[in-house]
């Protein structure tokens, strides 16, 4: 991991002093019934390294704090379910869903933990790295034949903040046996330790189910298994009956934050799933609350559901639209209730962030924070990391006017950053075509405020889907505004050594960045670029701006001219028209960037002192 430096969070280091677990030769059962034994235990496994470096597939794409996949699998029983895919993590784990597991407060999570990533197997969850210098020797291999699935991490070093950005040597593997549903960890070589920033709980070993409510920890602490150690987890001969109905997602299958325009019809959608191994035959309720940013319940609804079979899910679409009368940041909170003998309560509720925009404004800022700034920040040690967020506008087509970033620090010496905008036309909606990439020098940035990078001349239009916005550091010390809140957007990503992964705290944190968009009517010629319909000069200007190119045959009214700030709010301005020219006078306006609207066309103008 590239260590996260966060303003006002030095106290987080105190959180690393949590209980450690000893490497006991036997353990369990957990609630489901799994047990484990290592090779020192009576009737324990015999250490037997399975070399797949020749017969296996070399796994590419691993870097620092990321994962790759999916790899299709079948026939392996894990906590009573049969996963269809495996994801392989650079930090020494596999998962049956696309989750990024990285350190938090310089430690790795206890197993099980309900919050955060679940549904994984961790033979050696620690801060490993395939990134850094090109000489990094780390390799990963994948094998899936017959009744055996094996993943090997070979010669993989730790992330260490040195010249190469790595040190150490670790070789270990996990073997999944389809025949008896057992899980075996083998440890062949272990040299070194993670960066000295890690003092406690920098390795976590064990298995965790899909909800995080059950799991079995082999070890968590600050020592590693010795070479020639083998640990085997045994599937129970008789699995315990578990009744567990949970909210699977709200509004979309990523439980991702979304934007709506005030006045748009919104019908809540909630997906529920039977996560246990018992059929739910009785009736239960699914309901939602719509909560304002102040926590006030403004709307609610409920439906009665008649049971749900094991392993199945159901999409509930409520019969009536939600009532929304004010532009605000909302929490859409979903619940399941009155489930007889439900054994896992935490997943009975789930929330999603919904941002309703003011439809009376001409432009809209797509930003998951409240847009007022933040006292928290994020910066990757070493200066070659980044943060990205995904945005879908509430209307189509939408044209992007600018990208915006709240910068809290510039470093010493001061450095800038890159603003990179991607289409979502990559594989499975991933970042694809680069729409804009611009370096922002430190001299252009005022800390403690939003930096706005104009794009109105680029004519970037979103016709469907959305865009990814990347903030990429150009050196050490520059920091981006960070907000801690729940629900968060779940639309954030971390980028290290060029590799993308879901942000490790995507469910509790968002970043002060976003894109400004404007709707485009498909029935009018809506030039956003000043070069499309009008000639705007001088720009920047000191006293007045001339807009040339109006159609003299059209009788424009005073309501067809408007000057706005970058938030889309109207400001007082004097316009005077002569033939095909329109003159905008500065008057008492402060120096800065403004939006001028003529009919349905928009351009940015700047007044300077």
Q: Which of 515, 502, 586 is nearest to 544 (CA)?
A: 586
**3-state secondary structure (DSSP) of residue 587:** coil
Give the pLDDT confidence score for residue 359 in this predicted structure.
87
Q: Judge if 245-357 and 535-607 fold alike in CATH terms.
A: yes
Give the pLDDT confidence score for residue 582 in this predicted structure.
83
| CATH tag for 535-607 (out of 1.10.1060, 2.30.29, 2.60.40, 3.40.50) | 2.60.40
- Structural domain 364-519, CATH architecture: Sandwich (2.60)
Q: What average pLDDT does the segment 226-237 reach?
A: 97
DSSP helix, strand, coil percent of the chain (3-state; round to 5)? 5, 45, 50
Give the pLDDT confidence score for residue 565 in this predicted structure.
77
User: For residue 498, what are the CA distances in angstroms to 259, 385, 399?
Assistant: 28, 8, 28
Percent of the chain exceeding pLDDT 90 equals 68
Name the pLDDT band for 126 (thresholds 50, 70, 90).
Answer: very high
Q: Which of 309, 268, 307, 302 is nearest to 285 (CA)?
A: 302
pLDDT of 378-427, one tens digit each?
A: 999 888 899 999 999 999 889 999 999 999 999 999 999 999 999 999 98
Name the pLDDT band for 372 (thresholds 50, 70, 90).
Answer: confident
> Is the pLDDT assigned to residue 16 strictly greater than 80?
no
Give the pLDDT confidence score for residue 396 in this predicted structure.
87
Which residues, including other chains, have CB under 8 Å from residue 134's CB and lie 6 or more apart? none
Give the pLDDT confidence score for residue 14 in this predicted structure.
28
Give the pLDDT confidence score for residue 522 in this predicted structure.
38
Give the pLDDT confidence score for residue 559 in this predicted structure.
58
pLDDT of 159-200, one tens digit each?
A: 999 999 999 999 999 999 999 999 999 999 999 999 999 988
Do residues 245 and 339 lie in contact, with contact meaning Cβ atoms separated by under 8 Å?
yes
Q: What average pLDDT does the segment 338-356 reach?
A: 93
> Is the pLDDT assigned to residue 431 strictly greater than 90?
yes
Domain residue ranges of the chain, discontinuous segments joined by +: 8-234, 245-357, 364-519, 535-607
CATH 2.60.40.2550 fits 245-357, yes or no: yes
Q: Which single residue is written with the structure tokens 């235990």?
A: 41
Q: Which of 257, 462, 240 is nearest to 354 (CA)?
A: 257
Residue with the bigger pLDDT between 551 and 349: it is 349
> Is the pLDDT assigned to residue 569 strictly greater than 80?
no
């Amino acid at each position: 991991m590239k260590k996260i430096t966060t303003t006002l969070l030095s106290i987080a280091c105190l959180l690393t002093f949590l209980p450690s677990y000893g490497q006991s030769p036997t353990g369990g059962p957990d609630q489901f019934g799994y047990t484990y034994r290592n090779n020192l235990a009576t009737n324990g496994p015999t250490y037997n390294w399975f070399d797949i470096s020749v017969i296996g597939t070399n796994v590419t794409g691993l870097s620092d704090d990321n994962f790759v996949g999916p790899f299709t699998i079948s026939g392996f029983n894990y906590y009573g379910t049969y996963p269809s895919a495996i994801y392989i993590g650079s930090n020494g784990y596999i998962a049956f869903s696309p989750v990024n597991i990285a350190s938090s407060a310089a430690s790795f999570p206890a197993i099980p933990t309900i919050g955060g990533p679940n549904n994984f197997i961790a033979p050696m969850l620690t801060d490993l790295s395939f990134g850094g210098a090109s000489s990094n020797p780390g390799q990963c291999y994948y094998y899936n034949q017959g009744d055996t699935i094996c993943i090997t991490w070979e010669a993989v070093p730790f992330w260490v903040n040195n010249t190469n950005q790595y040190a150490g040597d670790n070789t270990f593997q996990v073997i999944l046996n389809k025949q008896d549903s057992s899980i075996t960890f083998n440890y062949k070589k272990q040299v070194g330790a993670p960066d000295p920033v890690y003092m406690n709980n920098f390795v976590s070993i064990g298995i965790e189910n899909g909800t995080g409510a059950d799991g079995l920890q082999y070890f968590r602490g600050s020592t590693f298994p010795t070479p020639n150690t083998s640990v085997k987890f045994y599937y129970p001969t008789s699995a315990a009956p578990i009744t567990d109905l949970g909210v699977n997602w709200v509004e979309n299958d990523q439980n991702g934050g979304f934007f709506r325009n005030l006045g748009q019809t919104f019908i809540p959608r909630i997906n529920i799933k039977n996560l246990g191994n018992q059929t739910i035959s009785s009736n239960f309720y699914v309901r939602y609350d719509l909560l304002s940013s102040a926590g006030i319940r403004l709307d609610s609804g409920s439906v009665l559901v008649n049971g749900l079979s094991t392993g199945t899910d159901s999409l509930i679409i409520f019969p009536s639209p939600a009532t929304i009368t004010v532009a605000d940041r909302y929490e859409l909170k979903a619940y399941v209730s009155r489930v007889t003998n439900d054994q896992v309560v935490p997943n009975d509720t789930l929330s999603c962030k919904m941002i309703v925009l003011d439809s009376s404004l001409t432009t809209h800022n797509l930003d998951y924070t409240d847009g007022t700034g933040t006292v928290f920040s994020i910066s990757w040690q070493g200066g070659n990391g980044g943060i990205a967020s995904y945005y879908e506008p509430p209307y189509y087509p939408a044209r992007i006017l600018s990208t915006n970033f709240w910068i809290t620090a510039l470093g010493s010496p001061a450095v800038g950053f890159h603003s990179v905008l991607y289409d979502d036309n990559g594989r499975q909606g991933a970042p694809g075509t680069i729409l804009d990439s611009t370096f922002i020098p430190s001299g252009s940035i005022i800390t403690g405020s939003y930096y706005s990078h104009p794009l109105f001349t680029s004519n970037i239009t979103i016709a469907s889907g959305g865009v990814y916005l990347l903030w990429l550091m150009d050196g050490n010390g520059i920091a981006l505004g960070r907000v801690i809140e729940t629900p968060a957007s779940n639309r954030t990503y971390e980028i290290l050594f060029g590799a993308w992964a879901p942000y490790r705290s995507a469910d509790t944190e968002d970043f002060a960045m976003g894109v400004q968009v404007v709707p485009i009517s498909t029935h009018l010629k809506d030039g956003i670029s000043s070069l499309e319909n009008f000639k705007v000069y001088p720009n920047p200007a000191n006293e007045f701006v001339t807009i040339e190119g109006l159609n003299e045959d059209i009788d424009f009214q005073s309501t067809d001219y408007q000057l706005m700030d970058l938030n889309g709010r109207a400001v007082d301005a004097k316009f005077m028209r002569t033939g095909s020219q329109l003159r905008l006078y500065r008057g008492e306006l402060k120096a800065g960037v403004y939006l001028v609207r003529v009919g349905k066309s928009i351009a940015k103008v700047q007044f300077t002192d």
